[in-house]
Chains A and B, each alone.
With several copies, the nearest count.
Chain A
């Protein structure tokens, strides 16, 4: 069965599927019930599954994650919604001290199959704290997995995999792409969320992106005079650097794109790994096209902060001219 769905709707469908296939899956978060979440990703689910499967939480993120851990110990598979990227930090302690460590601490006795959905990234003209890209903080934490889809199909497949995973998964949703449409195959899983996927093949430069920047990278590829291979990471942790290396072995050049500040952004890790594994085949320095090392700016200025296809093209040119 295929359908033309928005990312938001694909996520909604994935939640529905997960709830249908496992009665232990429950949704928990602020305003996710009647309101359907501020982005309506949980639309209709409260109505269809009821109070015991879709729970509105008090306004306290540490509380949401902290109690979800207890729910998981009791056998539930909570899928949490954090309303915006900038509001996950009150829960950071529970995430790093408990969520990420309990399975290891208990020698495998206690599993915490918890998914934390977080709409993230900029570009929607929002006020402060509503446009952050905090993936570094979670990718650096052992014990967590981190996924982020880029289109409706990966949204559907990644979210289902996240919920089915027996490990805690931080699931970043590219909020400014929520309304992008695409086909979704729901009968099987045509996408392996844990692997990077080549979303456009090319021979001159490998461009690695994830989440909202995949579309931007594809735009750049369309506009470039060079042949760009665009890779969508999907999984930020574990990082599928082998797929990147395979591509770089062919192209000899790498450009990495993300919205988060460059300093210790994910691009740093990718550059470090590929710089080592492809040391003898890299023909140019690895380029990073990222947010600057500043707090996310007020919305009227966000376009100057966010990587766009021009900045990617300039980086591609640098790589080609090196």
Chain B
């Protein structure tokens, strides 16, 4: 096992791990104090959401949870850069993105509780359902972006995937289609160093962002734990997309601080040391130091947010615990959009069958 790898080429950075603001030759970001503060708040809430969900899973309230711990800056920052009408295509781990798109966290909980496979309405939030089959959403996102072009709209798309996913055919086909059609899409790869038990350097022999070049569009490496750099780089890529210049691949270098999911046992494959190194690069801590150092926020502000988050988490927990369950026969709903006699008949037989048990008092 190795020590935490560093990006080989300098990643775009506007905020150092020590919380210092630095300048970059190509990227800059001008936010109001209110915006800085709100970014901090969003990240704290996203982390709290993650903690709460992890706890709920342990208590048996969720079937599974995929933690976003450590990736808050990459997720909140990239989603912050989106316009309202842009469309996001997340994986199963982008809770920070769903949050920023206004998805009710209860809807995310539904998915991991096993009540729904989708939760929210993707069209309402302009945020696709979580996609579990690695890489699928990349092509779906590119197609949506091609539609934006056909519509001559200024909408753009961001599609997320992990370092492991870069091996999948679909992701690379996504690059080809986007390049061919100059689709307004930003490929946002969170290189969190792990694909379950596989360290990314094992399968990725060259920095991921360099993949873009050979497909005919630019790639950028960004410090994924620096929310300001993430925003700046993503905004620039979205602008480029909107202008008709085509896709950009962003590699956000970050770290999966938790297990792959609550089913995973990372002690089998990684050293505790790695994690410790990365704790020093914590994305939330970094922004907090910057806010404090520059007098943008003080202890009261931070404390108040913690209290808010606690209260909110408390409500969430209670709500999850008392979540209702859909009716059994709802399994037949929405399989088809148009009417479907055969399935209606199956539903009717299903209801009859359960009716029968109810009548006879037999437990089904």
Q: Which residues of A contact B (CB under 8 A)?
A: 26, 30-31, 33-36, 38, 52, 55-60, 62-63, 65-76, 86-87, 89-90, 93-94, 97-98, 101-111, 113, 125-129, 142-143, 145, 165-167, 238-239, 292-295, 297-302, 304-305, 308, 310-311, 314
Most chain A CB within a 10 A radius of its CB, from B143, B147, B157, B181: B143
Whether A94 touches B196, Cβ cut-off 8 Å, given contacts A63-B173, A108-B334, is no
* Contact digits for B138-153, partner A, Cβ 8 Å, 1 yes 0 no: 1111111111101100
Q: Is the CB of B268 closer than 8 A to any CB of chain A?
A: yes
Residues of A near B337 (CB, < 8 A) are 103, 108, 111, 113, 165-167
Residues of B near A71 (CB, < 8 A) are 143-144, 146-147, 150
Residues of B near A35 (CB, < 8 A) are 196-197, 265, 268-269
Q: Is the CB of B169 closer than 8 A to any CB of chain A?
A: yes
A19 to B167, CA, bound (A): 28
Within the complex, the shortest CB–CB distance from A162 to chain B, in Å, comes to: 11
Within the complex, the shortest CB–CB distance from B40 to chain A, in Å, comes to: 31
* A67 close to B331 (CB less than 8 A): no
* Contact digits for B101-141, partner A, Cβ 8 Å, 1 yes 0 no: 00000000001111111100111100011011111101111
* B169 close to A62 (CB less than 8 A): yes
Q: Is the CB of B176 closer than 8 A to any CB of chain A?
A: yes
* B335 close to A295 (CB less than 8 A): yes
Residues of A near B343 (CB, < 8 A) are 238, 293-294
Residues of B near A72 (CB, < 8 A) are 143
Number of A-B pairs whose CB atoms are under 8 Å? 249
Q: Write the chain B residue with the least CB distance to A314.
A: B353
A109 to B118, CA, bound (A): 10
* A38 close to B140 (CB less than 8 A): no
Within the complex, the shortest CB–CB distance from A257 to chain B, in Å, comes to: 15
A165 to B337, CA, bound (A): 8
* A59 close to B118 (CB less than 8 A): no
* B142 close to A103 (CB less than 8 A): no
Within the complex, the shortest CB–CB distance from B350 to chain A, in Å, comes to: 7
Residues of B near A30 (CB, < 8 A) are 195-196, 198
Q: Is the CB of B156 closer than 8 A to any CB of chain A?
A: no
Within the complex, the shortest CB–CB distance from B165 to chain A, in Å, comes to: 6
Q: Give the contacting residue for A70; candidates B123, B129, B141; CB below 8 A.
A: B141
* A97 close to B133 (CB less than 8 A): yes
A-B contacts, 5 of them at CB < 8 A, read A35-B265, A62-B169, A66-B143, A127-B132, A298-B116
* B143 close to A67 (CB less than 8 A): yes
Within the complex, the shortest CB–CB distance from A244 to chain B, in Å, comes to: 13
* A293 close to B176 (CB less than 8 A): no
* B269 close to A103 (CB less than 8 A): no
* A31 close to B198 (CB less than 8 A): yes
Residues of B near A62 (CB, < 8 A) are 139, 169-170, 173
Q: Is the CB of B340 closer than 8 A to any CB of chain A?
A: yes
Residues of A near B173 (CB, < 8 A) are 58, 60, 62-63, 66
* A70 close to B202 (CB less than 8 A): no
* A70 close to B145 (CB less than 8 A): yes
A22 to B146, CA, bound (A): 19
A98 to B168, CA, bound (A): 16
* B346 close to A293 (CB less than 8 A): yes
